[in-house]
Chains A and B, each alone.
Chain A
Amino acid sequence: MGEVIVITSGKGGVGKTTTTANLGSSLALEGKKVALVDTDIGLRNLDVVMGLENRIVYDIVDVVEEKCKLRQALIKDKRFDELFLLPAAQTRDKSAVNETQMKELTKKLKEEFDYILIDCPAGIEQGFKNAIAGADRAIVVTTAEISAIRDADRIIGLLESSEIKNPELVINRLRPNMVKKGEMMDVEDIVDLLSIDLIGVVPDDEYIITQTNKGEPVVQNKKAPSGKAYKEIAKRILGENIEITVPGREKGFLAKLKRLFIKN
């Protein structure tokens, strides 16, 4: 029986789709059978980020309206044998799917896959409600910006009032240099304000853009620090207890000691 994880943020443009694509790829790298579901009906993008836009025949609305079988709509990834994408419809809107249908869909997917990652649309309306309907677990993505953190807080409130408890936080696009200068909120500041568990910090790097340009997940590029961060998060999703790498901060005992002295 698989686990359904919704990736959400409230605010748009903080990296939900990129996070979904890369966590999915990382989990597939770990040998898990993974399905990515794009629920951003009308504004689908997970297909282009994954580089699978040319292979779409059927979409999530076709499945829900029983115009095709679930298996027919699932697109197999180019790189990983055990990674599949269920694309959103581009010519419909969020009301084309309802919460009961989403629950049924995720239930079916759970039978076949280890992990089902749901890419949630921005906002708190029907699209959001659909996306979280069948989810067992939630990952909230935010950046260090005021607007993104505020929206994340709202989303956390809504998640906790639903059936999903203990959402986990991904801080995306952190710029270590700005944090050092005191020009950007620190990881601790954000975790403190939102008071939920942190599952990973992804640094802002140019590889995200160049890889996405090519339709390749950034985890494919071994040089990319952001790719490493996503691989780490995937391991934590699988239950491995590894220390969270904060970009721009050295790991290990000595570094910790150093930080302690500098702070005091």
Chain B
Amino acid sequence: MFENIIKFFKNIGKSNKEAGNSKEAAKERLHLVLMQDRANVSADFLDLMKQEIIEVIKKYIDVDESAIDVRLANKTNEDGTTGSPALYANIPIRNIKEETRKMQKTINQNEDKNSVNEKNNSFKEQNENSVNSNQNEEKKEIKQEENFQNKVNEVEKNTENNMQDEKSTDIDNKEIEQKQPNLETVEKNSSI
């Protein structure tokens, strides 16, 4: 009799736990399934993102554009089942740009100068002028990156609207074209 009562209470606890799991299980499974579905559906968004990625990378390295492979694939879990989607990008590099190396040098120099400044305050004013000119170049670069960041955000927003809005993609493409000359001028500046 007493055992039966204990069993009864144990069962109540169990059934509640199992029930709680069923809702959570549904939520988790749906979350994964929806991510996979959404990633597979919008091929346009992948094309646009690929274009954006190439534009950014081209600033720093010489790449073989025709050989770039960007795609969404599902990760494979340890037990062989398909897991969350992942972005794979295979970008063959032709050459590291000369400007990139120069940029690296100037950044290093700036760091050296800054450390010297901390020690010798008397040299500060003289050095600042040269540092400023270098910093301007860096700022330009940063701005350019910010632009791209904004555009990446735009792309994300667009993908939420599922990316079929032809008008907005047209505008985006135009923006990319307009940015191209800007990019080149910055590169020229930095090489000077």
By a beta-carbon cutoff of 8 Å, the part of chain A in contact with chain B is 146, 149-150, 153-154, 157-158, 160-162, 181-186, 189, 193
Contact = CB atoms under 8 A, between A and B. Distances in A.
Interface string B27-40: 10111011001100
A182 B164 contact: no
B162 interface: yes
Contacts of A153: 34, 37-38
B140 to A, nearest CB: 38
B94 interface: no
A184 B30 contact: no
Interface of B: 16, 19-20, 22-24, 26-27, 29-31, 33-34, 37-38, 41-42, 161-165
B41 A185 contact: no
Given A160-B161, A186-B23, A193-B31, A181 B16 contact: yes
B34 A150 contact: yes
B26 A182 contact: no
9 contacts: A146-B26, A149-B30, A157-B38, A157-B162, A161-B164, A183-B23, A186-B23, A189-B27, A193-B34
A162 B163 CA distance: 10
Contacts of B29: 146
The residue in A157, A185, A186 that gathers the most chain B C-beta atoms within 10 A of its C-beta is: A157
Contacts of B161: 160-161
Contact of A146 (B30, B42, B164): B30
B20 A182 contact: yes
B19 A183 contact: yes
B34 A161 contact: no
Which 5 A/B pairs are nearest by Cβ-Cβ distance?
A161-B164, A182-B20, A161-B162, A183-B19, A160-B162
Given A160-B162, A161-B162, A161-B164, A182 B34 contact: no
Nearest to B166: A161
Nearest to A151: B37
B163 A161 contact: yes
B37 A182 contact: no
A225 B163 CA distance: 40
Given A150-B30, A182-B19, A185-B26, 8 more contacts: A149-B34, A157-B38, A158-B162, A161-B165, A184-B23, A185-B23, A189-B23, A193-B34
A230 to B, nearest CB: 26
A158 B163 CA distance: 10
B74 to A, nearest CB: 16
A114 to B, nearest CB: 29
Contact of B19 (A150, A158, A181, A185): A181
Contact of B27 (A150, A181, A193): A193
A189 B161 CA distance: 21
A150 B26 contact: no
Contacts of B42: 157
A185 B16 contact: no
A220 B34 CA distance: 38
A157 B41 contact: yes
